[in-house]
Amino acid sequence: MKKNLLNILFISLSILTISGCSSNEESDPEVVVDPPVIVDTDPLTTSNAATYLVDANATKETVALFYNLKKLAKTKFAIGQQAAFNSFYQDAGGDSDIKKNTGYDPAVLGSDFMFIADKGNNNQVGNWFYGEEVKIVADVKLAYTKGMINTFCWHLREPNKEESFYAADLTSEQKATAFKSILPGGANHEWYKKKLDKIASVVSNLKGTNGELIPIIFRPFHEFDGSWFWWGANFSTPDEYKKAYQFTVDYLKNTKGVHNILYAFSPDNSYTTQADYLSRYPGDNYVDVIGMDNYGDFDNQGSTGASRANSKLKIIADLAKTKVKIAALTETGYQVTSTKPPVTDWFSTYLYSALISNSIEVSYVMFWNNTKDAYWVPNGTVSNASDFKTFSSKTKSALVNSLPKMYELPK
């Protein structure tokens, strides 16, 4: 579960510090991988790629991103980090910490709609939240210019006071009603639509130098199988969750006419069977990326945890093959602090083996953001810097320098 969130009233003029999202508790049940029914030859081609996207009217760059991510997984996985251009260990600004270590920027940049959609954002110069929006938009455009992939999560504050996204900060009554209230017909449905209006406005104005819309991956209501967020499993039924996810996609795509989004479905790591994973799945017509956030299996669990994580990744990788979707490890990491030292060979042995064993095909992996006092990705000055550098230079690893042209279909 994400911990150590700084209260919004005390945030400095830098990106919010949120530790990695998911639970670090070890999950003991054996992971059961159902025998997949997999087509021998990949049906995805450059000519039919558009037919596999959630959005039938997706821009050509968005179609190309889907195609190239899907094909990339056959040989490599892209490496990314949340807020890579604005979150540095020991506040050492400049290049991303990944670039400080390896000489190259990450292949994926993670961003958050949290401040963009915050009640405090008045869209005026000088407003702190608007300043964060401007910074995020600039980072997304920079990443696109570099050939990187952009993905967004959304730590949406609850609809009552809009002060927190953590269920622990809500009353029992608020926990029981908050998620239901944003569904169509609910007391806060119009409130939720206004939040989506803001997201639609920002995403529709993400443009490259030639005026083309920049594609993004958006994963709403992530880690929903846990209950640390107010949209978690204890506070919504599977049907309610599906309805909220479906409404979000339909509203952005059909009502607001946003056509540069790939939609990601990303629970935490609690599932052990394919049926578990799909219990809240909103349907193939609503999902482009089949993902998983997983911190717990990598929390100093050694080869046992890596194997367990690989089994869960195999479940989603097999589903991605049968459904012609993108598979991804949408969040992971092992946070090093002053009291929590690095795990030897965590990147190059344990994580790498989890991402490639059993011939799975995963398109990308993303680490959480570094902070002044802790890091998920080592820069070039810390003791496990060489471990990450080794990991990033392995055969199946890809930083931005190893990506193909992600926004063009191959000729």
Residue 238: which H helix or E strand, with range? helix 238-250
DSSP string covering 150-197, please?
A: EEEE--PPPTTTS--SBGGGS-HHHHHHHHHHTSTTSTTHHHHHHHHH
DSSP state of 254: I
Of 61, 133, 331, 361, the catalytic one is 331
Cα pseudo-dihedral 194, 137, 113, 290, rounded to 10: 120
Of 61, 133, 158, 223, the catalytic one is 223
**Nearest-10 crossing angle of helices 172-181, 238-250:** 40
What is the SS3 assignment for 304-343?
HHHHHHHHHHHHHHHHHHHHCCEEEEEEECCCEECCECCC
- The answer to whether the CB of 209 falls within 8 A of the CB of 150 is no
Annotated active-site residue 162? The verdict is no
Per the DSSP assignment, residues forming a β-bridge with 149 are 108
Residue 289: which H helix or E strand, with range? strand 289-294
- The answer to whether the CB of 220 falls within 8 A of the CB of 245 is yes
- The answer to whether the CB of 249 falls within 8 A of the CB of 221 is no
Taking only Cα atoms into account, the Rg of the chain, rounded to an integer number of angstroms, comes to 20
- The answer to whether the CB of 363 falls within 8 A of the CB of 77 is yes
Total residue length of the chain: 411
Which structure tokens are listed for 409? 């279909």
- The answer to whether the CB of 59 falls within 8 A of the CB of 260 is yes
Q: Which long-range contacts (CB under 8 A, 24 or more apart) does 338-341 make?
A: 338/373, 338/374, 341/383
Give the integer Cα–Cα distance in Å for 355 and 360.
Answer: 7
Listed residue (104, 106, 115) closest to 150, CA to CA: 106
Alpha helices in 15-171 (DSSP H): 60-72, 97-102, 128-146
Annotated active-site residue 223? The verdict is yes
Q: Which residues are catalytic, by number? A: 223, 331
